Amino acid sequence: MKDKYTLGHPDAFKYANEAFEWFKENYHHRYGTIREHDGLIEIHTGGWSDNETLVEQLKKTAWWLLHFKAIETGGHYYFATNNQLFSWTVVKTEKI
C-alpha cells in the first residue's frame, strides 16, 4: 500500500477513494467478494489470509475511517459511502 493512503500522511483524505481502488485491484476475488450497490459496500474475505491482510491495510486508511459501519465475525465488513441515503440499525435478538 502506498504511504499517501495511510492515516497520518498529510494527503490521506485526498487519496481516500484511490486507496479503495487500490484495495479492489489487489483483492483476490476468487476467494472472497466485494459487493457495491447504491453506496453500500460489503467485503467478504472468504477466510483467505491474503484478503485479510489487505483488509488490515485498508483499516489504516482515511477511506476506512470515513465509511466503515460494521463488522461480522468471519471476515464480513460493511460500509456506506453515501450516508445521506441510508441509515443502519443494530438490533439485539434473544437466543431461542
pLDDT tens string, the chain, 96 residues long: the values are 899 999 999 999 999 999 999 999 999 999 999 999 988 999 999 888 999 999 999 999 999 999 999 998 889 999 999 865 555 566 767 766
d(CA 52, CA 17): 19
Contacts (Cβ under 8 Å, ≥6 apart) of 58? 19, 20, 23, 64
pLDDT at 1: 85
Give this prediction's pTM: 0.83
CB 71 within 8 A of CB 64: no
Measured distance CA(62)–CA(7) in Å, rounded: 6
pLDDT of residue 50: 93
